[in-house]
């Protein structure tokens, strides 16, 4: 039997190393899955990353992989790789709460497309991961099921809203996980927890089976230990899905193969607006070190301007809350989830169910969204925000006419303390200042570890790229990753 230390060592391997170990017989998929559950049992009580486990389903998946190997069959690309799923993505027969009381008892009758593609590629799906309620938050303190603790420093937040997904990888409870990103919810937790987090272009990965927060902003993407693993997972997840009308028909390139191409000659833009007042000194130093690594690898660095960046946060919180107001109207206690039993009328049942089921932050955003969509305010807020969104997108299009990718901080600070910002929503919203722009513009991005603060907390660098040019940002991120590994080796 594998010890806890052995399990964490195995889970810390890359996807290719795990697949090779299973193919060669060094590990069995069942043995690795069982050992992951032992790690979860030991580590999760102090981290609170997992909300539901599906051990029977996972072990069936793992046994299928071991049976394929025993028959001498070629194993699929993710054979036996243990993966966790953020609890806003559906898995057939597994509870889906979206971190909210209003979905208590709901078990979806179908798999999200992203979940189905992982399983078809041989992944072993361990269970569902904690998150801010309906993915609304920057700290994972808004979950109805308690906050997630950062494995790198248990008194710190893991970032949000995909804090459970980032923490599970950082704590070696899974080789990889799925998260979602509406305004930074993959990249910011990746930065805070010291892992890799990839935001695909809007339409690159199907959103079918995603419990929506803001439909024009939501994306599904992976958390991994390495950039190469992120490339491997994107290759599995990407591609058109007829079940998602916003899914792109763009062909899927070989992302893993693209990492073999050097970055020499690439033009990297450094947006001045992302290095202004409010940026933590340690974060600035770490990202500048990443810039030096890219220069040493043969990239050229160019200062650029994205002038409408100053309007990104208010624009985002108008549009995201408006879409949330519309999307969350479906949760009424009639068809699934929580239902108030003490209501005398239908209207009373709606009110009581929503009052008891939705948390404070979700209520705040529903109210904001309903307000900006209301008669007399639609033009002043929602329409104006859509116009500013176009200007932000045009800023990026102009930038990418002269550079191949952008390098920025992922977050203005390292992970802050639990409870530090809970009474100041505006301060919490500003934690997304460097990430919301990519969601508004529909472009791709990635956060890769690039250093540590003076307190030893992880810091991430963000690389942003053109629409459907994930191959380039993965190459750039891999170069930063090599610099960081070289620093650790010394």
The single residue of 100, 185, 191, 248 carrying the catalytic annotation is 185
Whether residue 453 lies in the annotated active site? no
Whole-angstrom distance, CA of residue 47 vs CA of residue 129: 11
Q: What are phi and psi of 429, to 5 degrees?
A: -65, -35
Tokens of 270: 């450094």
Nearest of 136, 135, 130, 134 to residue 150 by alpha carbon: 130
Whole-angstrom distance, CA of residue 268 vs CA of residue 111: 39
- Asked whether the beta carbons of 58 and 33 are under 8 A apart, the reply is yes
Residue 7, SS3 per DSSP: helix
The single residue of 86, 162, 206, 447 carrying the catalytic annotation is 86
Tokens of 24: 């060669």
Whether residue 185 lies in the annotated active site? yes
Tokens of 204: 């690159």
The set of residues, in sequence order, having a beta carbon less than 8 Å from that of 36 and lying 6+ positions away, is 7, 11, 82, 126, 173, 174
CA angle 255, 112, 148 (to 5 degrees): 85
Give the Cβ contact number of residue 178 at 10 Å.
29
Whether residue 162 lies in the annotated active site? no
Whole-angstrom distance, CA of residue 92 vs CA of residue 94: 6
CA 373 to chain centre: 28
The single residue of 35, 161, 162, 247 carrying the catalytic annotation is 161
Whole-angstrom distance, CA of residue 36 vs CA of residue 10: 9
Nearest of 85, 128, 66 to residue 237 by alpha carbon: 85
- Measured CA to CA in angstroms, residue 440 lies from 122, 278, 485 at distances of 34, 22, 32
Which residues are identified as catalytic?
A: 86, 161, 185
């Amino acid at each position: 039997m594998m010890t806890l230390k052995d399990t964490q060592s195995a889970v810390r391997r890359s996807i290719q190393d795990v697949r090779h170990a299973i193919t060669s017989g060094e590990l069995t998929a069942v043995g690795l899955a069982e050992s992951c559950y032992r790690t979860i049992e030991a580590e999760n009580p102090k981290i609170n990353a997992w909300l539901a486990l599906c051990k029977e389903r996972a072990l069936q998946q793992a046994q299928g992989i071991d049976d394929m190997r025993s028959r001498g069959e070629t194993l699929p690309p993710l054979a036996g790789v243990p993966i966790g799923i953020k609890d806003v993505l559906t898995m057939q027969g597994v509870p889906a709460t979206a971190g909210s009381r209003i979905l208590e008892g709901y078990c979806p009758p179908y798999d999200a497309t992203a979940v189905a593609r992982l399983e078809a590629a041989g992944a072993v799906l361990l269970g569902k991961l904690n998150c801010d309620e309906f993915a609304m938050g920057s700290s994972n303190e808004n979950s109805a099921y308690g906050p997630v603790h950062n494995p790198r420093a248990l008194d710190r937040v893991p970032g949000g809203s995909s804090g459970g997904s980032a923490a599970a990888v950082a704590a070696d409870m899974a080789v990889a996980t799925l998260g979602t990103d509406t305004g930074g919810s993959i990249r910011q937790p990746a930065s805070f927890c010291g892992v890799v987090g990839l935001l695909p272009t809007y339409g690159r990965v199907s959103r079918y089976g995603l419990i929506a927060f803001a439909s024009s902003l939501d994306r599904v993407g992976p958390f991994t230990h390495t950039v190469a693993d992120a490339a491997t997972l994107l290759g599995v997840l990407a591609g058109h899905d007829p079940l998602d009308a916003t899914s792109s028909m763009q062909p899927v390139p070989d992302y893993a193969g693209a990492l073999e191409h050097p970055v020499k000659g690439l033009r990297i833009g450094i947006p001045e607006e992302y290095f202004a007042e409010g940026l933590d000194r340690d974060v600035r130093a770490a990202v500048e070190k990443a810039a030096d690594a890219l220069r040493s690898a043969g990239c050229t660095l160019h200062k650029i301007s994205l002038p409408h960046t100053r309007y990104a946060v208010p624009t985002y919180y108008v549009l995201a809350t408006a879409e949330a107001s519309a999307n969350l109207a479906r949760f009424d206690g009639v068809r699934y989830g929580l239902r108030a039993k003490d209501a005398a009328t239908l209207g009373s049942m709606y009110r009581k169910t929503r009052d008891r089921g939705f948390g404070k932050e979700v209520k705040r955003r529903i109210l904001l969204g309903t307000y900006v969509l209301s008669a007399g305010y639609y033009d002043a807020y929602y329409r104006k925000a859509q116009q500013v969104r176009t200007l932000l997108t045009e800023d990026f299009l102009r930038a990418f006419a002269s550079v191949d990718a952008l390098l920025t901080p992922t977050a203005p600070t390292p992970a802050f303390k639990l409870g530090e910002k809970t009474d100041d929503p505006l301060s919490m919203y500003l934690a997304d200042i460097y990430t919301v722009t990519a969601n508004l513009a529909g472009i791709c991005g990635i956060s890769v570890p690039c250093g540590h603060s003076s307190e030893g907390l992880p810091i991430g660098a963000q690389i942003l790229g053109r629409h459907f040019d994930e191959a380039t940002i993965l190459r750039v991120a891999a170069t930063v990753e090599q610099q960081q590994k070289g620093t650790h080796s010394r």
